[in-house]
Structure 1
Amino acid sequence: MLPDLTWLAWVGLLCGAFLVGFSKTAMPGINTLAVALFAATLPARASTGVLLVLLLVGDCFALWSYRRYAHWPTLVRMMPAVIVGLALGGAFLAVAGDSAVRCSIGFLLLVLMGITLWQRRGRKKEVSAPSGEESHAATKVVAASYGTLGGFTTMVANVGGPVMTMYFLAARFPKRAFLGTAAWFFVTMNVLKVPISVCLGLLTAHALAMDAVLVPGVVLGALVGKWAFARIAQHAFDRAVVAVTVLGALYLIL
C-alpha cells in the first residue's frame, strides 16, 4: 500500500507533517511549506489527498488548544463564500491542472500582503480589542472575497492558509483569537473537502496508508507548537505570520 520512496523522501514528508502540526498550534501559514515538501516528493494530485487527512489531524489539536477563543461573527459571515469557493475549486480540479492558478494566487497574496501592511501601518497606534473585534477594513464584501478565495485555494492546492492568514491579520486578532478562529474555520473547510476529494479520486486507500505513517509527525509538531506558542510575543507572532505568508506566496509563484 505504501509507495516505493527513498528514506530521504520519507524524511521530507515527515518534516512536512511536523510543519502541519506546528502551523495549527503556533504559526498559521507555515503549512504552505509542508505543501511544498509534499509536492516535491509526490505527484501533485496524490499529495493533495495525503495532506488533507494530516490537516484534519492538526485541526483536532488546534481545536483542543484554542476552541474557546474563536470570533464567531467572522466565521458565520465567511462560510457561504467559502462553500462557493470550495465548489469552484472542485470543478476546476475536475477539468484542469493548477500551475497557472497557483502562480496567480501567489501574486495575489503578495498584493494582499502589501495592502494589509499598509493598513496596519496607518493604524499602528490603535490597540486591538481583547474580544477580537474586526477593524472597519474587514467588511462583508472583504470577508466574502477572502472566503471565496480561501475555499478555492484550499480545494485546488491545500494553500488556503496564507489567504485566510491575511484576512485574520488585517482584522487585528490577538494571538489566541487568531488561532481559535482559524481552527474552527479550517476544520469546517477540511471536513467539507473530504467527500469532494473522495469523488475526485484524491483520497484513496494508498493515501490513508501513507497518513498512518506520517500522523506521528503531525502530533509531534502540534505539541511542540503548543509549547512554543506561550513563548511568542504578539509582535513577533505578527511578523512571523507575515514572513511565512510571503514564503508561501513565493513558493506558489516559483
Structure 2
Amino acid sequence: MSEWALLALCALTIGFSKTGIAGVGTLGIVGFALVLPARESTGAVLPVLIAADLVAITVYRRDAEWRLLTRLGPWVAAGLLMGVGYLAQADDELIRITLGVLVLIGVVVTAVVLPRREHLAEETEAGQADPPRRGLAGSVGVAAGFSTMVANAGGPPMVLYLLFQGLPVKRFVGTAAWFFFLVNVAKLPFSSGLGILDLDALTRAATLLPAIGLGAWLGVVVINRISRRLFEKVVLLLVALSAIPLLIG
C-alpha cells in the first residue's frame, strides 16, 4: 500500500471516530506515526483531527455540557504546557515510544471503562447515576492536556471523566466533540512554534479532506447497524497490536 493510500485510510478512520466509535481514531493516529517520523506525525495529524472535529461539532453543536469543559480548562492548559516542554526536549525515538506507551495505557483504561459505561448509562436513564466526580477534573485535565499535546492521545482520560458525570449518551458525545475541537485548536500555536506543524502538514490535511468526510459519513451510517460491543473489542485489539511497532522500532 502506498504512503498516500495508507494516510487516506488513517484519515478515514479519524473521521469515522468523530461520528461513530471513538477508539478507531487511535488507529489513524498510530498509522500516521508509522508512515511519518513520530515527531512530524504529531503535527501532521493535528489539522486532520481539527477537520474531523469540525464535522463532529456541526452534528453535535447543541449538546455540550459547558460547565464540565470550564471546570477542566485550567488543568488542561497546565497539561498542554507540560507537553510543550516535553516535545521541546524529546527526540523522535522517545516521542515514538511515548506514543506507544500512551496508546497502550489508553487501551487498558478503555477496556476497564467499557463495562462500567454500559452500567452507568442504565443508571442514568433510571435516574440513579452517581453525582459528578469533581475531584477527577485536575488529574484528568492534566493527563488529557499532556497526552493530547505529545501524542494526540487525550481520548481515554477524557472519556473516563465524562463517563463518571452520568451524562446522557448524546450529551456525552457532544461534550467530547467540543472538548477536542477547542483543545486541538489551542494546540496550533504551540505545534507551530515547535516546528512540528508546517505548510506541508496543512497541505497534506487539505488533500485528505475527502477521506475525512467519507469516514465521518460512514460513522453516522454504520454506528447504528453494527454490534457496538463487538466492534469496540476488535478495535481495542487492533489498537493494542498497532502500538507494538512503535515500542520496538
Q: TM-score, normalised by structure 1?
A: 0.82
**What is the identity percentage for the equivalent residue pairs of Structure 1 and Structure 2?**
38
Q: Matched residue of 1:67: which SS?
A: coil
Aligned in 2, Cα 1:54/1:99: closer, same or farther, shift over 3 Å?
Answer: closer
- The aligned amino acid for 2:183 is M
User: Over aligned residue pairs, what C-alpha RMSD do you find?
Assistant: 2.9
Shift of the 79–57 alpha-carbon distance from structure 1 to 2, 3 Å rule, reads same
- Structure 1 246/170 Cα, relative in aligned 2: closer, same or farther at 3 Å? farther
Report how far residue 154 of structure 1 moved: 0.8
Q: 1:150: which partner in 2? A: 144
Match of 1:135 among 130, 137, 160: 130
Q: Which runs of 5+ in 1 are unaligned?
A: 1-6
Residue number in structure 2 paired with 1:4:
none
Q: Is the 8 A contact 1:175 1:237 kept in 2?
A: no
Q: In structure 2, what is the Cα distance between the partners aligned to 1:19 and 1:120? A: 23
Alignment partner of 1:12 out of 2, 6, 29: 6
Does the aligned pair in 2 maintain the 1:21–1:218 contact within 8 Å?
Answer: yes
Residue 176 of structure 1 deviates from its aligned partner by 1.6
Query: Does the aligned pair in 2 maintain the 1:69–1:181 contact within 8 Å?
Result: yes
Report Cα offsets for 1:145-171 as digits up to 9, x if no partner: 112111111100111123323333444
Aligned position for 2:61: 67
In 2 relative to 1, CA 15–134 (structure 1 residues): closer, same or farther, beyond 3 Å? Answer: farther
8 Å Cα contact 2:133-2:165 kept in structure 1 = no
Partner SS state of residue 208, structure 2: helix
1:161 aligns with 2:164: no
Provide structure 2 residue ranges, at least 5 long, that are not aligned to the other structure: none
Q: Which residue of 48, 67, 74 corresponds with 1:54?
A: 48
2:177 & 2:121 partners in 1: Cα distance? 28
Counterpart of 1:105?
102
Matches within 5 A, 1:14-29: 14-29=8-23
Q: Which moved more, 1:168-177 or 1:187-196?
A: 168-177
Q: Which amino acid in 2 is paired with 1:10?
A: W
Query: In structure 2, what residue type is equivalent to 1:176?
Result: K
